[in-house]
Amino acid sequence: MAKTEDFKAKTDDQLAEQLGELKREAFNLRFQAATGQLEKASRVKEVRRSIARIKTQQTERSRSAAK
């Protein structure tokens, strides 16, 4: 699982790209869970939290840029 410091070191474009990848993974994990093919249920929680961390970082950057 990625830490907040990892996200702070990335550029805005890198964060947006990683957010897209994580959203795609979350979508796939939901389908796997629905069909009973999910191997690692804890991955769903990790992906959701990583998405939240990226969105938080993007919000902080946009707020500091607006000042």
Measured torsion, CA atoms of residues 32, 39, 1, 51, in degrees rounded to the nearest 10 = 10
pLDDT at residue 23 in the model: 98
Return the structure tokens found at 50.
């990583």
Burial 44-55 (b: 16+ CB within 10 A, else e): beebeebbebbe
What domains can be seen in the chain, in order of their start residue?
Answer: 4-66 (1.10.287.310)
Residue identified by tokens 């500091």 is: 64
pLDDT at residue 18 in the model: 96
Q: Whole-prediction pTM value? A: 0.89
pLDDT at residue 1 in the model: 65
Residue from 38, 59, 60, 37 nearest 47 by CA: 38
Q: What is the pLDDT along the chain (67 residues), one digit of tens a residue?
A: 677 888 889 999 999 999 999 999 999 999 999 999 999 999 999 999 999 999 999 999 999 988 7
Return the structure tokens found at 37.
């093919």
